[in-house]
Amino acid sequence: MPLLPPALRAFLVRIPFLVPVVRFLRRGPLARDRNLLITLIVLTLALGGLAAGVSPEWFSPALMIPITLVGGLQLRLASLVKLLCAVAVSLVYVAVVLGVEHIGPGLLATFGFTAALAALMARTREKLGVQGLRGDAMLLELRDRLKSQSDLPALPKGWGSKVVLKQAGGSSFGGDFLVSIREGDMLELALVDVSGKGVDAGTRALMLSGTFGGLLGSVADFLPACNAYLHRQRESEGFVTAVHVRLNLATGEYAITSAGHPPVVKFEAGAGTWRVSTAKGVVLGVVPDLHCEFDRGMLRKGDALMLYTDGLIEQPGRDIDAGLDRLLGEAERLVPSGFRDGARNLVTSMSAGHNDDCALVLIWRP
């Protein structure tokens, strides 16, 4: 009834015998589910009657398959069971009137598979507490928020940046994410790597990105605060590594802290070489009190900082140091061509031959 125009609804409620019907259809929090169930059952029984009484070619019993799928997408599991009972009654009626040959084993197998799929969808939605395809929409929204959070803030003139995220298996979710914030001339960013890869690590990364994003810029000691949060969690779902950079965009001064993360590397334009940062610390959540060794320095004209995750340097059967040397060798090619254009090529080259989440963050002074 809510779908009817107000004028028609007002007219119908004036008819005496329709008043209790209208009240029944609008009563209770599950009115939408009940009304849809009634509609689908009526369609199912009508389809069975028309197939048996008019023509099974024009009103094929196979048309009950999309009705069942609609029930799986929209109805509660208890209501879906009632719909499936109506489908079974219609099929039996058609078989009795027209003969068993009109309901062959192929059609029955298709109905059985469709019913099982619909029940699985209804059960999953009931656990999530959502209707229809809202669960997929929620995941898409979370994915978009995670991607938008991984975008660096706009930097002032005289600075450049590039972020490349590549998830395992081409998934939209992964265990590597970036959080950043800029307040005036102060830029803070943290690159985080959750153990695992692809969708398996993506759910935990979604949760932690919100937590770490709230802590960034709100506490003086970012990584110790993240460590305290993870250490309080009862479940142990693998490890988390992170690197935090605080950069003054006016002077170029920076401070790096790391917690079990691959070392940041700095390109020094004066010497034309890449230098490995000395910042290091324990993986997050392992010890109650995290003590990090800082690395401080200054970015001058032509210098650059490169942050990355272990997916770029770890390969089965190879040493991590060898992977780091290869990364620095590939990074040498970025200098003549420019950091912005070559960052994605660097990730593609380093991740070739293995399937893992990869992330690369470059900040430089042109």
pLDDT score at 175: 76
Q: Which two tokens stand for residue 187?
A: 């830029």
Task: Give all strands of the β-sheet with 273-276 in edge-to-edge order.
Answer: 160-166, 358-364, 304-308, 265-268, 273-276
Contact predicate 61/77, CB 8 Å: no
* SS3 at position 318: coil
Contact predicate 217/205, CB 8 Å: no
pLDDT score at 1: 42
* pLDDT tens track, the chain, 366 positions: 445 566 656 655 556 554 554 455 455 445 677 888 888 999 988 988 888 888 888 888 888 889 988 888 888 888 889 999 999 998 888 888 877 777 878 888 888 898 898 888 888 777 766 665 565 666 677 667 666 766 788 899 889 998 888 877 666 667 788 899 999 999 999 999 887 665 667 777 777 888 888 888 888 889 999 998 888 876 656 688 999 999 999 999 999 999 989 899 999 888 888 899 989 888 888 888 888 888 999 999 989 999 998 888 876 666 677 888 888 888 887 776 677 777 888 887 787 666 677 888 999 988
DSSP category for residue 282: P
Cβ atoms within 10 Å, residue 42: 11
DSSP string, 64-129: HHHHHHHHHHHS-HHHHHHHHHHHHHHHHHHHHHH-GGGS-HHHHHHHHHHHHHHHHHHHHHHHHT
Quick one: the chain helix, strand, coil %, rounded to 5? 50, 20, 30
User: How far apart are alpha carbons 212 and 236 in whole angstroms?
Assistant: 18
User: How far apart are alpha carbons 53 and 59 in whole angstroms?
Assistant: 10
The residues with which 180 forms a beta bridge, in sequence order, are 189
User: How far apart are alpha carbons 25 and 41 in whole angstroms?
Assistant: 15
* SS3 at position 135: helix
pLDDT score at 134: 61
User: How far apart are alpha carbons 138 and 131 in whole angstroms?
Assistant: 11
